[in-house]
């Protein structure tokens, strides 16, 4: 494998959420996906630590003591953008309130306009609607293979089992999920847009935002759990060095740059 290929394998699996203004649906998806991944990873890690503490390590006490999962950004990077976003705009108050009610902090969020560079830097693009998906593919035609609506991706990967995921960590799992989604989409029948689109809650009040958030959580719950399982299995064979701030495989937390684009 070339040095460039090695670098790609070691960088976080990057997921880009896309909607219209990047103030409602896509920031909800961004925050809720990261939260689901983190919660699943914590649950798996606590279960493993409990099994080790009860004697599953064969007496190797040091293997679990002091081990903590990395920040989700260490293996998974979730961000968002909007096809008509006004760069720098804060999240819509109703969307922010939904996240706050779930213990998440949306205060630092700022909208970003979708650009070809953002698409090209992403390994998977999940859109609110088919229209957004078309816009993404119009910007970067080669991204068609890795661009889906959010609900479409959840639907076509719903049958993937943990045993189906190849070894190699979050990136390998993400690539498998994307390939599975692509294959099933190519072989499947066309469905009504209503089954694949995530309705805009902007004019629907609190209940509409809550329903939108719940649908996102239900849709992403299984994919995020599979990614977390793959992340944990990789860490189990590559222990985190507490002295290394970059964590396993030299991966550091990667912040999302939300500096407003010039112009």
pLDDT, one tens digit per residue, over 185-209 is 998 777 888 889 999 999 889 999 9
Q: Backbone phi, then psi, for 241, in 5-degree steps?
A: -90, 115
Task: Report, in this order, helix, strand and coil percent for the chain, each rounded to 5.
Answer: 55, 10, 35
Helix axes 93-101, 205-237, angle to 10 degrees: 50
Mean pLDDT within 66-88 = 74
**Digit-coded pLDDT (tens) for 93-133:** 999 999 999 999 999 999 999 999 999 999 999 999 999 99
Residue 115 DSSP SS3? coil
Question: pTM for the whole thing?
Answer: 0.80
Cα–Cα distance, 261 to 259 (Å, whole number) = 6
Q: Backbone phi, then psi, for 124, in 5-degree steps?
A: -150, 135
Question: Quick one: pLDDT at residue 9?
Answer: 58
Residue 57 has pLDDT above 60, yes or no: no
- Tokens 């989409």 correspond to what residue? 185
For residue 235, what are its two tokens?
Answer: 């860490």
Question: Quick one: pLDDT at residue 208?
Answer: 96
Distances (CA, A) of 182 to 147, 149, 156: 9, 12, 9
CB 93 within 8 A of CB 26: no
Question: Quick one: pLDDT at residue 233?
Answer: 79
Q: Work out the pLDDT band at 35, boundaries 50, 70, 90.
A: very high
Q: Backbone phi, then psi, for 146, in 5-degree steps?
A: -125, 20
For residue 70, what are its two tokens?
Answer: 């990395």
**Digit-coded pLDDT (tens) for 204-224:** 899 999 999 999 999 999 999
**Mean pLDDT across the chain:** 82
Terminus-to-terminus CA distance in the chain, angstroms? 40
Homologous superfamily in CATH for domain 13-54+62-250: Response regulator (3.40.50.2300)
> Which among 230, 125, 254, 237 is positioned nearest to 176, based on CA atoms?
230
Residue 21 DSSP SS3? coil
């Amino acid at each position: 494998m070339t040095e460039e290929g090695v670098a790609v394998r070691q960088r976080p699996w990057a997921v880009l959420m896309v909607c219209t203004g990047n103030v409602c649906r896509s920031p909800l998806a961004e925050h809720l996906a990261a939260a689901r991944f983190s919660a699943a990873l914590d649950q798996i890690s606590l279960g493993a630590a409990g099994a080790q503490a009860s004697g599953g390590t064969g007496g190797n006490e040091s293997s679990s003591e002091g081990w903590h999962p990395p920040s989700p950004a260490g293996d998974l990077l979730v961000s968002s953008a909007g096809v008509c976003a006004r760069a720098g705009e804060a999240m819509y108050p109703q969307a922010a309130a939904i996240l706050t009610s779930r213990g998440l902090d949306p205060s630092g969020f700022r909208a970003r306009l979708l650009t070809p560079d953002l698409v090209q830097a992403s390994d998977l693009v999940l859109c609110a609607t088919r229209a957004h998906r078309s816009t993404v593919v119009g910007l970067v035609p080669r991204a068609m293979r890795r661009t889906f609506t959010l609900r479409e991706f959840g639907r076509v990967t719903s049958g993937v089992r943990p045993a189906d995921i190849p070894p190699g960590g979050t990136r390998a799992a993400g690539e498998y999920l994307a390939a599975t989604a692509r294959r099933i989409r190519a072989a499947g029948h066309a469905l009504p847009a209503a089954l694949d689109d995530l309705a805009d809650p902007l004019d629907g009040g609190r209940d509409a935002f809550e329903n939108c958030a719940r649908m996102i959580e239900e849709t992403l719950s299984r994919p995020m759990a599979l990614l977390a399982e793959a992340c944990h299995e990789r860490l189990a064979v590559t222990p985190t060095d507490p002295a290394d701030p970059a964590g396993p495989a030299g991966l550091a937390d990667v912040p999302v740059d939300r500096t407003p684009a010039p112009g």
